[in-house]
Structure 1
Amino acid sequence: MADLHFELVTPEKQVLSEDVYMVVVPGSEGEMGIMAGHAPVMTTIKDNAELAVYRSAGATPEKIRVSGGFAEVGDNGLTVLAESAGE
């Protein structure tokens, strides 16, 4: 399966922009696993939650703490616009 293009952006900077296997997004309605080919969707992000970024299948996820904002899956992949982000 093709990789998912993932971007994590805060008002201050672009935190991450790369191709990954999967990202688990802590949406306000629950967690969503996003992979390449996912249907278009938009959700708000829970405050003080963690994104889980899987760089390859079966890999240990990199956890990135985010607060507020939203996530959008579209033709260009997954974009997370967060109020703040840090490991």
Structure 2
Amino acid sequence: MPLHFELVTPEKLCRSDDVYMVVVPGSEGDFGVLEGHSPIMSTLRNDATLDIYATQGATPEKLTIAGGFAEVNEKGLTILAEQVVEAV
């Protein structure tokens, strides 16, 4: 089953889709999130890169974000980013 992933900034919902995995740049270190991950909240590092894997073994899509929060719950992963800077 895929992981539901949403990327949100104060201005808009930037992305909402199902993916295989996202590697999140947490303030205490990077962590990978797959479907069924335990609930967690984390602050995000500034000017860090999200790695988004559409499918298992795929080349990741890389997005640079500027700070914010990540929340994993039973509905999936939500990244609340201060800003999406650019695709890497």
Instruction: State the TM-score, normalizing by the size of structure 2.
Output: 0.96
Structure 1 position 18 matched with structure 2 position 17: yes
In the alignment of these two chains, the number of paired residues is 86
Q: Which residue of 2 aligns with 1:57?
A: 56
Query: C-alpha root-mean-square deviation of aligned residues, in Å?
Result: 0.5
Q: 2:82 is matched by which residue type in structure 1?
A: E
The C-alpha deviation readout for 1:23-73, integer Å capped at 9, x for no partner, is: 000000000000000000000000000000000000000001101110000
Q: Which residue of 2 aligns with 1:5?
A: 4
Structure 1 position 41 matched with structure 2 position 40: yes
Name the SS for the 1:38 alignment partner.
coil
Name the SS for the 2:58 alignment partner.
coil
Query: How much has 1:9 moved relative to structure 2?
Result: 0.2
Give the unaligned 5+ runs of structure 2: none
Query: How much has 1:75 moved relative to structure 2?
Result: 1.1
Q: 2:52 is matched by which residue type in structure 1?
A: V
Aligned partners of 1:52, 1:18: CA distance in 2, in Å?
Answer: 14
Query: Percent sequence identity over matched residues?
Result: 58
Q: 1:47 is matched by which residue type in structure 2?
A: N
Instruction: State the TM-score, normalizing by the size of structure 1.
Output: 0.97
